Amino acid sequence: MKYSFASMLAGLIFGLGLIVSGMANPEKVLGFLDIAGLWDPSLAFVMAGAIIVGLIAFAVARKRTLSFLGFNMKLPTNNHVEKRVVIGSMMFGVGWGLAGFCPGPALVALGAGEMKAVVFVASMVAGMLLFEFFERLELFARKAGEA
């Protein structure tokens, strides 16, 4: 129960932060991405703040063996950047630039009833399902090749 409450509280704080910062507003995001037009640099400060918080959180996490909720700390150890990560990042950037949404803010906007967010989230879910389908297909083909 305490884990559910902690998750809900973290999600609430994240969602409120997205609303207050303007990240849930696609027009503000697109204004930030439009460096050749009427550029709005305010989201750069939001991102800088998030990076600072992340750096501090990871520095603290590296020194711990258990999380604040009592779980084992599992930090990434692989420093190798795979082609899939680069391609996925590029696809994320294109989608962000076209729609003005990324997953977190899209869910916040969906909760606010914004129609653009409905289309974005539906497309995001469809993409996730396609990914899962092709991952399982590849795994099936690999296992069939081993047999």
55-66 confidence digits (pLDDT tens): 999 899 889 988
Query: Domains of the chain: which residue ranges?
Result: 2-146
Q: Smallest Cα–Cα separation from 101: which of 35, 24, 12?
A: 24
- pTM for the structure as a whole: 0.69
> Interior CA angle at 137 toward 136 and 138, to 5°?
90
Compute the distance between CA of residue 147 and CA of residue 144 in angstroms, rounded to an integer.
5
10-68 confidence digits (pLDDT tens): 888 988 888 888 888 888 888 888 888 888 888 888 889 989 999 999 899 889 988 88
